[in-house]
Amino acid sequence: MFVKDLTKDFYQVVAGKQCLILVNFDVDGICASKILQSLFKNDNVVYTLVPVQGVKDMKSAYDDNAEDIEYVVLVNCGGNVDLIEILQPEETVTFFILDSHRPYDLKNVYNEKQIKLLGDPTLEEAIPEYDVVFNDDSSDEEDEEEFSDNEEESAQNRRLRQHEARINKKIKRREWEEKREEALFHYEQLSYYAKSSAVIAYEMSWQMSRDNLDMVWWAIIGSTEQAILNKVESSTSVLESGNLQSHVSRLTHARGGNIDKQQLSAIKVTYDKDLRLALYRHWTVEDSLKHSLPTAVALRLWSIKGEHRMRELLAEMGLPLCQSKQKFTSMDLTLRNEFKDMIEKLSDKYKIRSIVSGDFTMQYGYRFKYCATDIVYAMLAILESTGRDRPPQLCFLEASDCLSRMKKEILEKGIEKAKIMLGYVFKAAQSLLELKQVTNAGNFLYVVISEGMLHHHLFAHPHMLLMLAQFILRAYAESTRSRKTATLPLVASATFSEEEGTCLIVGVPPVLEEQPRSFFGKAFSQAAENTNSFIDQDYFDVTMARLKSEDRPKFFDALSALLQ
């Protein structure tokens, strides 16, 4: 069931108790849990936090830690699966779900006792009515008994009536089932993301008058991740940042007094128009142009011609080559100050679309100044920097450290990692485009990252593969220049585990599609069913899944047939 009043029906229930927090491996989830943790710490709510990568992880984390626990908070996980079925919990356990994955599993929606979905049901999109989906009428047979009690009726009459009733019921039942199928199909067909969990958690803290600038900053980062990874429509992001901006200014003014004086030591969050160039304040202009989606796509930087175009742009801006290859921070001050305007002015000429958008910046003391996108990239890079002595959980905790103002070193390391990450995405996209690896299957595009490719193993990480897929789709659409390609979605695939012979697939919606809703979740499972191939939809984001590598060709065929 939905819980609308988070303060009363969630926070005050949990306060003073012990709870288990399970958090999905994504930036928004980390931000949301950070806000909860901060509240819990102030109220001395003893908690255990375990990061989970998928459904199986969630199950084992629950089993490991469930003893003595009555309250479980699930952040960005658990909402779109049948939780009770999977976890088989004791009846005394209550689950609070703060999940931005949609659609919710209907079993969760209509479980009145154990499942509490944190959010306002009126904001949800058409959820089928209870009666449409569930049939409580399990007493079919008993009904008939009732009839038999009627002694006065003749046996024949009775039989006739029973027969009639049964037929009627069957017809009704069939109608109901058809309607149910349709409703379910309609409801479950597309997967998408709803409002950032971090923002919801923040708004709860605000309702309790417990919010502060740190928390709103975390909410900003959560919502920025949704924007960067195209999880939500851009118009939604803009609205959300307006909302967050008002919170920022309220909190800034609430501190009141002499703002100028506070600026030196206090945290300051500002909202301003900024360039959508990844990490440019921490990088060189050239690298940043190359590795950012808007510029890389518009200038087609993966080709040699593109390289020339970039030189041309830089020359026209009056930015000497040697300066553009320097760290941005060591560029001449005047160039630095004019940089934004220069790019903006020339963006039309070079057809660089939407290069400017709003972004938040956090400043703390003199040396701590980062914008929200910087931090999202750093966190993504850390989150997926697993290795032999870096288990995923450790990466998760380190990514969460990026949110702490006290851990600048970790954030700095993350930013360095992010540069490398973006570099690999770019290089992979470049070589895939050069080698014409993008295949048009008629109604969708697909690309397979072969094991021969440099650093192919990095794309066994879902976010990395997702970013690559988005990059390639844009770049491909731009370079073919046909209207048709802009309407096609793309599926990217990379080896997940060589030993197990499995691969990771991710589907991204077409460039022209304004609403980032994806039918791939359903389509993947359908295609797998049709071809009898094994599919592991373990991720909470259903547009990602794992397949047996050997099944991949026939899977793509089936997918193609399905999308006719």
Task: Give how many residues touch another protein by CB under 8 A.
Answer: 25
Provide the terminal-to-terminal Cα distance of the chain, rounded to the nearest Å: 37
Residues 440, 308: Cα–Cα separation, whole Å: 29
486 binds another protein (CB under 8 A): no
Residues 263, 249: Cα–Cα separation, whole Å: 14
Residues 228, 293: Cα–Cα separation, whole Å: 10
Within a 10 A sphere around the Cβ of 112, how many other Cβ atoms? 7
243 binds another protein (CB under 8 A): no
Q: Which is nearer to another protein, 68 or 136 (CB)?
A: 68
393 binds another protein (CB under 8 A): yes
Q: How does DSSP classify residue 550?
A: G
Taking alpha carbons only, the member of 269, 277, 276 closest to residue 405 is: 269
Stretch of 141-149, 393-401, 431-439, 485-493 lying at the interface with another protein (CB under 8 A)? 393-401
212 binds another protein (CB under 8 A): no
Q: Which is nearer to another protein, 68 or 91 (CB)?
A: 68
Residues 264, 85: Cα–Cα separation, whole Å: 54
Stretch of 99-107, 196-204, 386-394, 446-454 lying at the interface with another protein (CB under 8 A)? 386-394
Q: Which is nearer to another protein, 64 or 332 (CB)?
A: 64
Stretch of 169-177, 286-294, 389-397, 514-522 lying at the interface with another protein (CB under 8 A)? 389-397
71-75 and 19-24 beta bridge pairing: parallel
Contacts of 165 (CB under 8 A, 6+ apart): 143, 144, 147
Q: Locate 289 and state its tokens.
A: 């142009």
Q: Which is nearer to another protein, 61 or 467 (CB)?
A: 61
User: What is the footprint of another protein within residues 405-424 (CB under 8 A)?
Assistant: 406
**Near another protein by CB under 8 A: residue from 242, 391, 442, 501:** 391
As measured in angstroms, the least distance from the Cβ of 220 to another protein is: 17
Residues 66, 74: Cα–Cα separation, whole Å: 13
Binding mask 61-80 for another protein (x = CB under 8 A): ---xx-xx------------
Residues 11, 38: Cα–Cα separation, whole Å: 13
Residues 70, 64: Cα–Cα separation, whole Å: 14
Q: How far is CA 356 from the centre of its chain?
A: 23
**Near another protein by CB under 8 A: residue from 13, 183, 394, 561:** 394
431 binds another protein (CB under 8 A): no
As measured in angstroms, the least distance from the Cβ of 33 to another protein is: 9
Residues 369, 404: Cα–Cα separation, whole Å: 13
Q: Locate 68 and state its tokens.
A: 């003595």
As measured in angstroms, the least distance from the Cβ of 100 to another protein is: 21
327 binds another protein (CB under 8 A): no
User: What is the footprint of another protein within residues 11-50 (CB under 8 A)?
Assistant: 15-16, 18, 37-38, 40-41, 44-50
- Residue ranges that bind another protein, judged by CB under 8 A: 15-16, 18, 37-38, 40-41, 44-50, 64-65, 67-68, 391, 393-394, 397, 400, 404, 406
